[in-house]
Amino acid sequence: MQLRSLNGSPTCEKIDRSACQQSRNRLTIRRITHKGRKKRNDMEAVANVFSRSIQYTIEEKGILSSDMGPEKYASVYNMDQTAVYIDMNGRTTIEFVGAPTVDVLQEVNGFRASVFLVASATGHKLPPFVVFSGVPDARVAAEVWDPKFASSDVEHAVQR
């Protein structure tokens, strides 16, 4: 049972200290929605600058002037690479009440693989390309080159 003070907030005598402190400071336990080494707003700013520079290069500089209409965008591809870390980080953290997203900065550690995603400006997607870090002739390389490994819709390689 929680006792309430005159202003309606719980008193600290009957509930644990951390819950009282969270309530007093308008904090709550939340599930993490984004892990990365850069904040989401920083990434959106970079993406917007990149998009504008590509549009300027195609339209104003006439890079693909031999193609007309939407066909010229079929030869424009964007490739993004991200590292996937396999570790056991927590799934929850403390955040202010009402925060729409919960971003966490993650340090580099543990086993990793790099995933490359490629798409054209018209929306055509190439299969994902996954590069595992490994040692030549080690177990990782043997597993990745096994025909039964993963899906045939994904390309795999091992960094040597």
Tell me what pLDDT residue 107 has: 61
> Is the pLDDT higher at 49 or at 71?
49
Taking only the tens place, the pLDDT of each residue in 28-42 is: 777 777 676 778 788
User: What type of residue is 103?
Assistant: D
Check whether 1 has a pLDDT greater than 50: no
Among the residue ranges 8-12, 131-135, 148-152, the one predicted with the least confidence is 8-12
Q: Is residue 140 part of a domain?
A: no
How many domains does the chain divide into? 1
Rounded to whole angstroms, how far apart are CA atoms 93 and 88? 14
Beta-carbon count within 10 A of 38 CB? 10
Average pLDDT over residues 105-123: 77
Q: Is residue 157 part of a domain?
A: no
Length of the chain: 160
Residue with tokens 């990745």: 144
Banded model confidence at residue 118, pLDDT cuts 50, 70, 90: very high
Q: Is residue 91 part of a domain?
A: yes
- Greatest C-alpha distance within the chain: 77
Q: Is residue 9 part of a domain?
A: no
Rounded to whole angstroms, how far apart are CA atoms 128 and 135? 22
Taking only the tens place, the pLDDT of each residue in 51-95 is: 888 888 888 887 877 777 777 788 888 899 988 776 656 677 777
Q: Is residue 144 part of a domain?
A: no
Look over the chain and give the mean of its residue pLDDT values, rounded to a whole number: 76
Sign of the Cα pseudo-torsion (133, 135, 137, 140, in order): negative
Q: Is residue 148 part of a domain?
A: no
Rounded to whole angstroms, how far apart are CA atoms 145 and 139? 10
Write out the residue range of the structural domain in which residue 45 sits. 17-126
Taking only the tens place, the pLDDT of each residue in 151-160 is: 778 888 887 7
Check whether 15 has a pLDDT greater than 80: no
Please give the sequence-ordered ranges of beta strands (E in DSSP) within 23-149, or none if there are none.
Answer: 27-31, 34-36, 77-86, 92-96, 103-105, 111-120, 129-133
Banded model confidence at residue 135, pLDDT cuts 50, 70, 90: low
Is 79 strand, coil or helix?
strand
Q: Is residue 141 part of a domain?
A: no
Q: Is residue 159 part of a domain?
A: no
